[in-house]
Structure formats: structure tokens, C-alpha cells
Amino acid sequence: MEVKWKAAALVLALWCCCDALRVTSVSPRRGSVNGATRLTIQGDGFAQERQFQLNPVDDMFGNRVTLVSNTLSVPCDVERDSTHSNQIMCYTRPMPYDYYEIHVSVDGVPIPDNSMCRYSWLCSFTTVWYLTPTIESLSPVSGPPGTLVTVYGRIFTDVYGSNTDLSSNGINARFLRSYMGGMPCELLKPNSDERYNLQLVSESSQMGYMSCKMTGTFVGHQNLSYILDADFGRSQAVKKLYRVSALGKLSMFQTFAEVTGVFPSEGSIMGGTLLTAQGRFLTKLINQHALSLEACRVKFRVWTMTESHARLQNTR
């Protein structure tokens, strides 16, 4: 008899737990096709203080949000610092244009459909072109690290660094950050609040220009993107901006090391002359041994290299 009572109590506890889990609203319900749109999910019974786990391999732990279409299932990355028992915040990933239903599970327990919003469309998300920021041109397309680059596209807003100002076109959105090759691309001039360039074509337009200065020192092929808040998320570049690198990868921009001088300027025709090449970012080359000078079909090999100097020897 006691065993039956314990079993009944366990079933009742599980029923109460599942009944307490529910989602009441999701916003926004439209956003960028390229991800980084922040979804806010309101409801009850979400994981809170147990968000921090000792076993990070346990995929069943905590809150899990998944966006599901007829052909695809995509996780939404939960922001734990902004999540509590009545709210989940997560960031979308790049997804094809489509309609997605939102599914939530808490500590491995899926929230049933009858507890997901009053109407199913209230617990949905749609990726749309008209809320996706774009990059339609990039200038220049190559340069040394630290180059100032300018983007033209559907940027929606001319606001950066303010939580209150509306854009000049009336849109309540702002630039959050910009990246080149995974490193920040700064919109502000050093030690000031002055922007390099952030402007719309007109007060009624969503098209405009954004300029930023690269901070990374990587030498090679890279891509640029920027992120807006509100419904907009991460930018998407048009396909014509991509070029195929020597490594077979698609990229929008190429950084290169600079050689500003070589000395001595004369040497033996029989080879063996030790030269010094002076420049910038020489040690950032992907393959340092690829650095060579060729004049009149005379090749040199690298002996030593620093950030600003390389010693080479005539190998003729």
C-alpha cells in the first residue's frame, strides 16, 4: 500500500511540474535570416539558479530553445545571464527564409503544445529579407591590418552607442558591433565619441554607409559583418562581394603585410648577399616562408623575421 502511495505521489509531482511549465509570448516574431536576432520568451517554470552546471556535456540540462520548420531544426543560443524563471533570452542562428515554430524544454522536459502560447502563431519566428541588414558594397577590398573600410547597404539606422536616440529615419534600432575576421571593427575614432562614418542616404531611407577601422593583425582573407539590435540581427553580404582565395575559401577582404624597403640595394651576382626587408605585419603571414622577393628572376629565402624586419639571402 505504501508503495502505491509513493508511486501516486511521484506521478502527481511530475504532473504538477509539467503543468507549471508554459510559454505565454515570444518577441520579436520576425528577424534576420543571418541570425543574431535576440528572442525574448515569456512564461513560467523556466530553469533559473540551476543554469550553471558542473557537467557541461549534459545537453538535457537547463533551458533549451529550438526553432523548427517543416525541413529544419535549429537551436537558439540561450543567454543565461538574462534568463530567469519567467523569461528566456536566446539568439537565433543563420537560417533559411522560412516559418519556424518555437519549442522549449526545461531540464530535458519538453513544454507540451497546449502550454505554448494561446495561439500557435504567437510562438513562432519567421526569417524575412526586409529585416535582414545587408552589405552590398565594401571599399576597399584589400589593405594592411588597421585599414578603414566602408560598407554600403541596408543598415536601417544611423545610431551607435546610445540607448535612447531614434535613427534619423524614425527606426528604433542601433548598431551594436562590427567584426572583421572575428575581431572588432571600431566605429569610433580612438579616444573620442566621434564616428568614422555612419549615415543614411536620406531621412526616409534604410540604405546607408558605415565605416569602421580594423583592430586585428591577421594577414589573409577575412569577412566583415555587423549586428543591429531590435529585430534586425546580423548582416548578410551579397554574393558578388565574395572572392575565392588561393586556399579555396570565400572571402570579402584580404589583408596583406607591407614591405617598405629592402637594403642593401646592391650585391654579388653570384648570390649569398644577406638582405633586410623592412615593413609591417611581416610575422603575421600565414606561412612566413612564403615571404620572398623576386627581381630579375633572383629569389631569396627567409633567414630571420620580426614584426618589422626580415633577413633574406640571395639563393641564386
Within this chain, do residues 116 and 141 fall inside the same structural domain, yes or no? no
- Write the CA distances from 293 to 132, 176, 302, 307, 312, integer angstroms: 45, 42, 10, 17, 9
Residue 8 included in any domain: yes
pLDDT reading at 291 higher than 60: no
Confidence of residue 310 (pLDDT cuts 50, 70, 90): low
Cβ-Cβ contacts under 8 Å for 170 (sequence gap 6 or more): none
- Percent of the chain at pLDDT above 70? 76
Final residue of a domain: which of 225, 246, 267? 246
Contact call for residues 156 and 170 (beta carbons, < 8 A): no
Confidence of residue 289 (pLDDT cuts 50, 70, 90): very low
Final residue of a domain: which of 98, 129, 160? 129
Range of the domain at 151: 134-246
How much is the average pLDDT of 261-277? 71
pLDDT reading at 288 higher than 50: no
Residue 299 included in any domain: yes
Q: Which amino acid is at 140?
A: P
pLDDT of residue 264: 74
Residue 251 included in any domain: no
Residue 252 included in any domain: no
Within this chain, do residues 196 and 84 fall inside the same structural domain, yes or no? no
Within this chain, do residues 167 and 53 fall inside the same structural domain, yes or no? no
Q: Model pTM?
A: 0.78
Q: Which residues pair with 247 in a beta bridge?
A: none
Distance from C-alpha of 88 to C-alpha of 82, rounded to nearest angstrom? 7
Residue 29 included in any domain: yes
Domain tally for the chain?
A: 3
Contact call for residues 33 and 95 (beta carbons, < 8 A): yes
Confidence of residue 87 (pLDDT cuts 50, 70, 90): very high
Cell (9 digits) for 11 = 506521478
- Percent of the chain at pLDDT above 90? 52
Name the phi and psi angles at 44, rounded to 5: -140, 150
Handedness of CA 186, 134, 241, 77 (dihedral sign): positive
Name the phi and psi angles at 33, rounded to 5: -75, -20
pLDDT of residue 297: 44
- Tens of pLDDT along 206-231? 999 999 999 988 888 899 999 999 89
Final residue of a domain: which of 199, 225, 246? 246
CA 37, distance to chain mean position in Å, is: 11
- Tens of pLDDT along 35-85? 999 999 999 988 875 555 555 555 667 899 999 999 999 999 999 888 888
Which ranges in 148-251 belong to alpha helices (H)? Answer: none
Within this chain, do residues 241 and 147 fall inside the same structural domain, yes or no? yes
Other CB atoms within 10 Å distance of the CB of residue 233: 26
Within this chain, do residues 50 and 112 fall inside the same structural domain, yes or no? yes
> What CATH number is given to the structural domain containing 91?
2.60.40.10
Within this chain, do residues 284 and 168 fall inside the same structural domain, yes or no? no
pLDDT reading at 244 higher than 80: yes
CA 178, distance to chain mean position in Å, is: 8
